[in-house]
C-alpha cells in the first residue's frame, strides 16, 4: 500500500482524503484501515468512541427508516446484525448470584426514591 495522502498527494488525477490511501495493486483509492489510525485522526473525521452494540443498533434503526418498533419486528434473519438489533449480545448471558441481584435491587430502590423526592420537591435535575 502506498501513501495515505497526508501530504496532499494526488493519485489518479485526484487528491486523497484523510481517510484514504492509494492501493498501487488496484490502482485506486481505498479506505484506510481504522485499526492503523490514531484516535486523533478518527476524532478529526468526526468519529467518537462508541460501544459496538450501540453502533449496530443505530444502523438497524437507520435501516428501518428510524422506526424502533420496526427494528423489533425485523425478520431479516439473513442479516448479520439481526441477532444484535436490540443492542444486546444474545450469546452473552449475565448470570447474577442472589446477593448480586439483591444489591442491584437495593441500588434501584435508592435511585427511584431519590427521583421521587426530586419530583415531589419540584426539582428535576
What Å distances lie between residue 11 and 41, 78, 82, 101, CA to CA? Answer: 21, 38, 39, 59
Q: Which helix (H) or strand (E) holds 11?
A: strand 10-11
* pTM exceeds cut of 0.75: no
Closest CA relative to residue 45, chosen from 14, 12, 6 = 6
Q: Are 19 and 32 in contact (CB under 8 A)?
A: yes
Long-range contacts of 32-36 (CB under 8 A, 24+ apart): 32/4
Q: How confident is the model at residue 92 (pLDDT cuts 50, 70, 90)?
A: confident
C-alpha cell at 4: 495515505
Answer yes or no: is pLDDT of 106 > 90.
Answer: yes
Lowest mean pLDDT among 9-13, 65-69, 79-83: 9-13
- Burial of 49-76, coded b for 16+ CB within 10 Å and e otherwise, reads eeeebeebbeebbebbeeeeeebeebee
Mean pLDDT score across all residues of the chain: 86
83 vs 22: CA distance, rounded Å: 35
pLDDT at 125: 53
121 vs 99: CA distance, rounded Å: 33
Amino acid at each position: 500500500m502506498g501513501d495515505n495522502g497526508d501530504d496532499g498527494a494526488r493519485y489518479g488525477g485526484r487528491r486523497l482524503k484523510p481517510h484514504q490511501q492509494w492501493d498501487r495493486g488496484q490502482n485506486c483509492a481505498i479506505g484506510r484501515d481504522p485499526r492503523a489510525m490514531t484516535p486523533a485522526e478518527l476524532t478529526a473525521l468526526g468519529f467518537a468512541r462508541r460501544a459496538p452494540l450501540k453502533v449496530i443498533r443505530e444502523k438497524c434503526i437507520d435501516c428501518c427508516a428510524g422506526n424502533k418498533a420496526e427494528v423489533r419486528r425485523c425478520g431479516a434473519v439473513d442479516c448479520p446484525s439481526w441477532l444484535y438489533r436490540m443492542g444486546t449480545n444474545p450469546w452473552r448471558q449475565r448470570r447474577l448470584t442472589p446477593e448480586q441481584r439483591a444489591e442491584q435491587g437495593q441500588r434501584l430502590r435508592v435511585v427511584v426514591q431519590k427521583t421521587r423526592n426530586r419530583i415531589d420537591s419540584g426539582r428535576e435535575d
